[in-house]
Structure 1
């Protein structure tokens, strides 16, 4: 792992190199120099974006490639989106994804992967929430750290984004976010700290304001918290084009690199230093961070041929990830898995069934060599059955077809026009070149995207399910989307529900694997699904001012006593599991939970055991309970294993605003263990920490 300890070995070499540079050369390291995005001649990140090198001294360029579901440059393996990978609750698998992506970055000519996305969705309607791992900050930190580890094993710099409070899309260029200090540290920065501790090489600042200051200029976020308190030794880069808005404020505020083109750094920054508005020592420190990081990652870097890109092993991995991610939410009367001899006539319904629907068409868009739609996957897997397709436009005709089918499979949800990175279609290239606010328009080729105005399905899909579903007792809904989709309005009309998220290039195959029973589903929801979205934080996606509250997601629902249709961490299997002999104890500076987990069914499967810690004994306001550990365990039919989950006590700490530090409160902590946040309530003990 090329973390801080390893990189420190290059400090002296980097200092010597920086000492040989002129002011102009040092500032050049800090100044992006790629205008291809605005030229209209290439799609976004078609080739690596280059910045920060020194040919005279032999320092390689930084070669930026975006993510997070794969390499954006060229063609590449399209993995399921991060939200789907969050549903696996499998950090080891995510590390493998990181290694594969790192290899493809190198094979594509890059050395930096800007795809470690880990902003917390304050509301699940956030258009880019598909790029993160869920609504729990512990899981976010755990999964992102695994991705960082995997990517950096290939000597590829992992860039974490967007720091911080970037969880609104439509207003991301204008909104000012505020939050209490406790909310900030416990809910919105703690997982970024995990990424820094995991050795992330780079951090990307965000477009929004925080407490009245551009995040890309924020001395508090970039200097005081990130570099001084957390000891981050890598470099900070701005989000593209509009992430820097003032030369002096940005440089003094801790911004190390203006990306992807130069407007406020370059000659303007040189002039600011010569005027005395920015100290040359500030430039030296930024240059040192960049040089040290590049030297560390280029030393001994492996090479990969282009054959590795979307090669058989990576495509196989993409399929496996999708298999583990798909979450079985409902399975009345064991409709699934489909038995071929009882499913001779399969009706697949919905426009998304024949769509190559693998996620947003913004900066995270990956261009795979092939994709497999749900319809293609089902048709291939059930080759001995008659698979017919109906787009669902004529509901009465679909209803008649469903009456004579053995199985009806609805594929419904969202696509890149419903949710994703926001772009403004009325921004001209000339306006972009002049640095006006907005999003890149026609030159990027981005879709509209944006934040969702509702968490419900489209009304046409709700009507389709409620009309057609009841006429066939073997009816299955497959959800496609990047975050919470409400089910209350239609869930009783069908027998089974699966969430496939945006499942990547092999999604159709993976879905068919689960439907047929070749794969036993093991995904768990990385978010809760409430009965009504009014129980979640309200949000105006166009607002210029918003205060983020302390509670969100399942924490808010549980603490305030709101009903859910599906709990955080829930997900069914084709087998059954028993969790017993649950014990909790303190051992030194750790909290340890142990349990026996047995597969009590008739087929092999995997379960995710989840540890939650609650604070009902505290005199302070806390969530009812929070996820503090999890372990995915595979068990053959009848097999039993012992699970041990360990949590450092520091993960139980709250942020004491009066002392400006984290404190572990001395009290009895409520400990819970189960296979979802709801199920865990049945295994409850207190552990005293004094």
Structure 2
């Protein structure tokens, strides 16, 4: 038997030669088998349908030649295997605006992936948040392409540090859940290239080695077999040389997907396999299509598999190690976003004799949905547990919830402060799994689901899907109202994957803090922020409107929908609508001043400098945001868009100067006539500040 397995230390030339030899020796049927996952249904049945119980073979693999399969695991809030570290959800990490933190999280995931025998990660999810009702919003970084691109690139770089192949997903326009298997997204060229695709290119340019296609259609063709996306844009225009694999089970509908640019069908050969082999033998698909796909798969796989590993080995005890748990805590602290503070926070623990902690979610393990991104950590610190551990016996903590609002209010009347924890769970939002979905095989083939344990959700709780409304449930609002009626200061903690409308109750509160789904150490982080051990520094990665009608049209059951050029802060600015909380908004226990904005033209773009001073009496971290406004004489463009951000740590009274470098290519617009990018000459305005609205207070002009 010829052994052509990967060998550590092979040079690029030797890898290329080995790939050539594999392709020369493999039969057509072996090559076609490389283009599908295999064994998933048996593994899933054997585990009682427990997603992530095993490494899933997800393409490649020829036993006869020693070629191993790719082994897939999901993300993005951790590794969906075993008892891995559960980080805050991606949207929470988007609120941190911390690129270095995201890279370090990716590296920690990479170590835990390798320790659990996987080589391919689906953790980089960057579909743009078009509307906050999207059930899977928690898995992306926000509504802005610049933020998505920078954070996703950092995660992919971190993931690939330990020779795990990162996948960016879902390519493209997958920004709704319930209709994702059927909906046809209609979009014009400018909206596609300027709004919905730039972040994918940023991530691929940073080296991300694989792409997962989306379920939905784009302009009448399913994304998994859409030649415009998978070949014309991805490979011809962008020069991507890695491989593309489908989303799982219903990711393609026809063997023509191979000719369109799809390299692997996952998780089983339902459409490829014998059907693809027959199409090649019948002359319907050229053999070179198969060879080209296999070359992309093998070249990528062997480049990683033959590289030297940063660690000598990857034992299981590296999973959920203390350093990774500390990283989860850091992420939870940095993502906590203070939306409102009328002098209530931080609480003075020396004067806190009695604290009321209200709401069902206060003591619920609630790290996100129960779909493919689910992580089962060794433990979860709830908000109540975090506060109890931090305060000890020195403070009496009383509780109550929506089940008996009168009793909760009565228990809170003489409290020094009230914390109400409200928001959502997987029942209200999350990845949508249709009730009749059998993963493409007869139910008998999968066997019966394992009986749920005390920590497992019911089928209804795990169903997920798009949100049906953007506000809080009525009983939670009633609990907030009752707490506020006591006259005691009330902090509302929002647990959600994206924007929650707060009209009707926000102005009754003393403070509002959005913690998102904050991971296994979320309760610890909440206590540290509320008690002043940590200065909140998170910023909203989306816009919170005052009315649902201010967002783009959304129909969770749509067969056809149009994604136009406008959403989020650009839409509200165009329509001169004031948000409740703007993109980039987030308060601190300190106050920051901006001055001395300077810009100059460089050979490749714009260089900007601004000085930031901590005017408060606490150390803190500010997120400086740079926006660009365009001449708008040739085509209509947004009033301003984010083009750079920097997180800067400042001691009280300290001043630091921050530099931004903006590439000219990032300022171009897409010409739908020539299908190329064009620079718009004229005066551009540069805005810098602590949010999209505060940036209006400091700006300058530059001619390009």
Please classify the TM superposition score into its range, dividing by the shorter chain length. Answer: over 0.9
Q: Is the 8 A contact 1:419 1:451 kept in 2?
A: yes
Which of 633, 647, 652 pairs up with 1:618?
633
Q: 2:168 aligned with 1:160, yes or no?
A: yes
Q: 2:329 aligned with 1:319, yes or no?
A: yes
Aligned equivalents of 1:378, 1:276: Cα separation in 2 = 67
CA drift of 1:441 comes to 11
Q: 1:400 matched to which residue of 2?
A: 410
Q: 1:254 matched to which residue of 2?
A: 261
Deviations 1:42-82 (A, max 9, x none): 40121110132123322221000000010001110000000
Aligned equivalents of 1:127, 1:8: Cα separation in 2 = 46
Q: 1:3 matched to which residue of 2?
A: none
CA drift of 1:565 comes to 1.1
Q: Is the 8 A contact 1:667 1:688 kept in 2?
A: yes
Q: Is the 8 A contact 2:480 2:505 kept in 1?
A: yes
Aligned equivalents of 2:484, 2:317: Cα separation in 1 = 45
CA drift of 1:534 comes to 0.7
3-state secondary structure, aligned to 1:92: helix
Q: 2:32 matched to which residue of 1?
A: 27
Aligned equivalents of 1:212, 1:434: Cα separation in 2 = 29
Which of 367, 385, 388 pairs up with 2:398?
388
Q: 1:630 matched to which residue of 2?
A: 645
Q: 1:416 matched to which residue of 2?
A: 426
CA drift of 1:442 comes to 6.0
Q: 1:229 matched to which residue of 2?
A: 237
Q: Is the 8 A contact 2:631 2:680 kept in 1?
A: no
Q: 2:199 aligned with 1:194, yes or no?
A: no
3-state secondary structure, aligned to 2:588: coil
Q: 2:453 matched to which residue of 1?
A: none
Q: Is the 8 A contact 2:399 2:408 kept in 1?
A: no
Q: 1:457 matched to which residue of 2?
A: 472
Q: 2:591 aligned with 1:576, yes or no?
A: yes
Q: 2:299 aligned with 1:292, yes or no?
A: yes
Aligned equivalents of 2:400, 2:370: Cα separation in 1 = 26
Which of 691, 696, 702 pairs up with 1:681?
696
Q: Is the 8 A contact 1:424 1:440 kept in 2?
A: no
3-state secondary structure, aligned to 2:513: strand
Q: 1:282 matched to which residue of 2?
A: 289
CA drift of 1:587 comes to 1.5
- The 3 A distance-change label for structure 1 pair 666 and 536 is same
Q: 1:44 matched to which residue of 2?
A: 51
Q: TM-score, normalised by structure 1?
A: 0.96
Aligned equivalents of 1:171, 1:201: Cα separation in 2 = 28
Q: 2:611 matched to which residue of 1?
A: 596
Q: 1:131 matched to which residue of 2?
A: 139
Q: Mind listing any 5+ residue stretches in structure 2 that lack a counterpart?
A: 1-10, 451-456
Q: TM-score, normalised by structure 2?
A: 0.94
- The 3 A distance-change label for structure 1 pair 134 and 32 is same
CA drift of 1:588 comes to 1.7
Q: 1:263 matched to which residue of 2?
A: 270
Q: 2:34 aligned with 1:13, yes or no?
A: no
3-state secondary structure, aligned to 1:76: coil
- The 3 A distance-change label for structure 1 pair 7 and 512 is farther
Aligned equivalents of 2:17, 2:609: Cα separation in 1 = 46
Q: Which moved more, 1:265-274 or 1:206-215?
A: 265-274
Aligned length: 677
Aligned equivalents of 1:452, 1:445: Cα separation in 2 = 19
CA drift of 1:440 comes to 13
Deviations 1:536-587 (A, max 9, x none): 1011110100010110011111121111111100111111111111122222
Aligned equivalents of 1:293, 1:684: Cα separation in 2 = 45
Aligned equivalents of 1:371, 1:223: Cα separation in 2 = 43
CA drift of 1:129 comes to 0.8
Write out aligned runs for 1:257-656 (5 A).
257-299=264-306, 300-301=308-309, 302=311, 303-332=313-342, 334-383=343-392, 384-427=394-437, 429=438, 432-433=440-441, 447-656=462-671
3-state secondary structure, aligned to 1:362: coil
CA drift of 1:425 comes to 2.0
3-state secondary structure, aligned to 1:56: helix
CA drift of 1:260 comes to 0.5
CA drift of 1:601 comes to 0.9
Write out aligned runs for 1:71-150 (5 A).
71-150=79-158
Q: Is the 8 A contact 2:687 2:699 kept in 1?
A: yes
Aligned equivalents of 1:532, 1:336: Cα separation in 2 = 28
